[in-house]
Structure 1
C-alpha cells in the first residue's frame, strides 16, 4: 500500500503532531480526508491536511461543531449586557410559553436542561434546514423531561429556540451577527450560511466505512427512534436514518441558511483561528471575549449522564466543557464537536486553540482520534509528557 501524502506545515517542536496526524490518516487508509490546525496565543503552529480532493482550504460540513460558532454570538451578547440568560425564553419569545414551557430559561436551553430535545413526529430534511419552521413546531411541544432537573442534548433544535431570543433582543439573526462580529472581521473560513459563490469549495460528507461486525454492533445498540436519543437525533421522523444525520450538511438549503445547531461549514484552520480570535486575539488584535466572559461561558453547568448522549457529554454555557472530555486541558477549556467527527475548542490556560475536520463520517457519531490529536498538540504546546485521554 502506498504511503498517504501529508500536506501542510508544523512549527518547530510540533513534529510529533505531524507524526500523530499521519498515523491517524494511515489508519483510515486516507479514505476520509482530514484537516488539522492549531494556534497557540494567536500564532498558527499546525496546519495539516491529507486525502483525496482535500486541501488546506477545503470546506466541509461541521454538524454540531456549528454550535461553537453560534455560541460565540451568545457570548458576545452576554458580554454586551444585552441578554439576561436567567429570564424565561418566553420573556423574549412569548409564544414559547405553552405546554409547560413557561419557566424554561435561556440558560436552560444553553446547557441542555430545557427538556426540548426534538418534536413529536420529527422533521424532514427541508424542515431541519429552516430554524423558523422548527421554532413554529416547538411552540406546542411539551418538554420531554422536567426542565432544569437533568440534561439531555437538544441536537437539532437548540438554535431554533435561541435564534428567536436573539432576534427579539437585537433584530438580527444569529447568522447575521456571526458574519458581522466574528467571521468577516477576521476573514474566517467558518460560515453559518455558506455563500453560493463558495459552494465549489465544499466537499460533501461521505458515509462512514465500517466492517460488518461494526455495523452489526451499531444496529444492536442504535437509538430507539421513540426514545430521547432517537428524538434528539430526529430518528422519530418517518424514513429518517442515522446516515441522514451524517449527510445533513450535504443539503444545499441547510448549508445556505446556516442552521446554528448543525448547518455550519468550515475548515480546520477556520475553526482554530475562530477560537484564537475569541480568546487570545490574532494579527495583533485583542480577543473578542474578555476574561470575565470566558469565565462565564466556560463554567461547567451540566456533567454526569446526558439523557441523550450518555456519560461523555458535559456542557458549559453554550459549549461543551472540554476539560471533562480531555483532562489535559484547563478547567476553562470550551468548544464543540460534531457528529461526523469535526471538533474545535479553546484552552485559555495554555492559549491553545484547535480545529479538526474529516470528510468521511466517523463511525457511530464519534471520532476518537480527536483525543489523540488534541493531546499531541497540547504536549507540544506546553512541553509536557502527558498522555492524551483515550
Structure 2
C-alpha cells in the first residue's frame, strides 16, 4: 500500500494518508470545520507501520488563526490517556516476573494495608476495584506532585467499598496507586521507567514528567465550546449522571476533585510532575506507536507485550455500573474495553481516553493502533465526538 504526502487546504491539515485511508483525512478536516477543533493530530498504525499521520490548526488552543501552527512534532497533555501507559508498566513488570498481579498490594507496599485494605490485590488497582477513588482530605497541587506525601495519603485512606467487590473509576488516585507500586518494586519512578524502558527503545516522544528541554514542543490546552456533532454523537446526559457531576458531595466529584484547587495543566511545574493518571504528554505518532508495540512488532522497533500479556490487558475484569462515572464501564487490567462508555474499534480493542479529547487504543484483530491528541478540551470524560468521528472512519476501512 503506497503512502502519498498530502496537504489539505494548507493551513487546515498536513501530513499523509496511505491509499484507502482517505476517509480518516476527511473526518479529521471535518473536526475543524464542524466541531470546533483548534489544534490536533491523529496517527494510525496498521501491522506495525503508519498509514495515517495528520496534524493541523494551532499549537496553542487560545492563539487564534495567527498563532504558531501545530507541527509534526507538537506534543500535548493527554490527561487520562496516560493511564494506558502506566498500565503497560505494571503488566510489563508482571511479564518479566517482577510483579504478581494476584499478590496483595501490601506485600510490596506495607503501609497500604491500613484500614481494611490488606486483601487489595495488584489486579484491583489496574481494574479500578481498589475502593479508594477519593480521599477524605484533598491534596493541593504541590502535595499531589510530592512523591512521598501523595502515596502516603492514599495508603492511609479507608476504602469506600470492600476492595475487589465493585468498581469505580480512580480518576486521580490511580497516579499514586500505580506510581508508588512501581517505585517499591523497581526503585525508580514510573516516569523514569517509562523513559528508560518504553520511550527510549521505541523512539517515542512520550513522557510522564516532562523534561525541561522538551517544554517548547508542548502546546497550551484549554476548554472549547464545540457545536453538537452530526449523527447524534453528543447526547444529553441522564439526570443521575448530571446530578452526580453537579453534587460536590458525590463520589464522582470527590474522585475528580482529589487535587484541589484543580492544577493548571499549562504550568511547567505540573507538566514536570509524575502523575501517571493524568499528566502524560505525547505526540499522536508516539501514542499510536506505543499501542502498536503492545500488539506486534513496529517498524524500526520491537514488541512490548507477549500475546499472553495482550490477553491480560483486554480480558474483562470490571463491568457494569461504575460508582464514579455513573454509567456502565468495562475495564481489563488497566485499559478501558470497547463499549458504550468508550467505543473503540471493535470487541477486542483496548485502550484509554483522556478526559475532554485524547484517545489511544489497539485492536489486535485488525492490527490497528490509534493515537489522537488535541489542545481543545470538551466537557465529556469519554467518547469525545472528534475522536469518535475518526474512529468510525477507521472502522469503515477494516
Q: How high is the TM-score relative to the length of structure 1? A: 0.88
- Name 1:256's counterpart in structure 2: 272
The answer to whether the aligner puts 1:226 opposite 2:226 as a matched pair is no
Structure 2 residues without counterparts, runs of 5 or longer: 1-8, 59-68, 228-235
- Aligned in 2, Cα 1:364/1:349: closer, same or farther, shift over 3 Å? closer
The answer to whether the aligner puts 1:13 opposite 2:20 as a matched pair is yes
Structure 1 residues without counterparts, runs of 5 or longer: 383-390
Residues 369-380 of structure 1: pairs in structure 2 closer than 5 A:
369-380=386-397
- Name 2:162's counterpart in structure 1: 146
Query: What displacement does 1:323 show?
Result: 5.6
Query: What displacement does 1:64 show?
Result: 0.6
**Contact (CA 8 Å) 2:41, 2:373: kept in 1 or not?**
yes
SS at match of 2:118: coil
Quote the Cα distance in structure 1 between the aligned partners of 2:295 and 2:377.
Answer: 29
Query: What displacement does 1:132 show?
Result: 2.8
**Aligned to 2:105, which of 83, 89, 104?**
89
- Aligned in 2, Cα 1:159/1:222: closer, same or farther, shift over 3 Å? closer
- Name 1:166's counterpart in structure 2: 182
**Contact (CA 8 Å) 1:189, 1:267: kept in 2 or not?**
yes
SS at match of 1:26: helix
**Contact (CA 8 Å) 1:114, 1:147: kept in 2 or not?**
yes
- Name 1:78's counterpart in structure 2: 94
Quote the Cα distance in structure 1 between the aligned partners of 2:126 and 2:259.
Answer: 23
Query: What displacement does 1:327 show?
Result: 6.4
Quote the Cα distance in structure 2 between the aligned partners of 1:80 and 1:62.
Answer: 28
Moved over 4 A (4+): 217-221
**Contact (CA 8 Å) 1:106, 1:162: kept in 2 or not?**
no
SS at match of 1:355: strand
- Name 2:321's counterpart in structure 1: 305
Quote the Cα distance in structure 2 between the aligned partners of 1:338 and 1:170.
Answer: 27
Query: What displacement does 1:91 show?
Result: 0.9
- Name 2:51's counterpart in structure 1: 45
Quote the Cα distance in structure 2 between the aligned partners of 1:74 and 1:160.
Answer: 13
**Contact (CA 8 Å) 1:225, 1:235: kept in 2 or not?**
no
- Aligned in 2, Cα 1:375/1:130: closer, same or farther, shift over 3 Å? farther
Query: What displacement does 1:235 show?
Result: 6.2
- Name 2:4's counterpart in structure 1: none
Quote the Cα distance in structure 2 between the aligned partners of 1:260 and 1:364.
Answer: 20
SS at match of 2:223: coil
Residue-by-residue CA offset, 1:52-109 (whole Å, 9 max, x unaligned): 2322211111111111111111111111111111111111111111112111111111
Residues 264-343 of structure 1: pairs in structure 2 closer than 5 A:
264-322=280-338, 325-326=342-343, 328-331=345-348, 333-343=349-359
The answer to whether the aligner puts 1:36 opposite 2:42 as a matched pair is yes
SS at match of 2:303: coil
Quote the Cα distance in structure 2 between the aligned partners of 1:104 and 1:19.
Answer: 47
- Aligned in 2, Cα 1:55/1:312: closer, same or farther, shift over 3 Å? farther
**Contact (CA 8 Å) 2:43, 2:54: kept in 1 or not?**
yes
Quote the Cα distance in structure 2 between the aligned partners of 1:72 and 1:184.
Answer: 15
Deviates more, 1:359-368 or 1:143-152: 359-368
Quote the Cα distance in structure 2 between the aligned partners of 1:172 and 1:281.
Answer: 27
SS at match of 1:365: coil
Query: What displacement does 1:251 show?
Result: 2.7
Quote the Cα distance in structure 2 between the aligned partners of 1:207 and 1:327.
Answer: 24
Quote the Cα distance in structure 2 between the aligned partners of 1:127 and 1:271.
Answer: 28
- Name 1:387's counterpart in structure 2: none
- Aligned in 2, Cα 1:136/1:33: closer, same or farther, shift over 3 Å? same
Query: What displacement does 1:29 show?
Result: 4.1
Query: What displacement does 1:282 show?
Result: 1.3
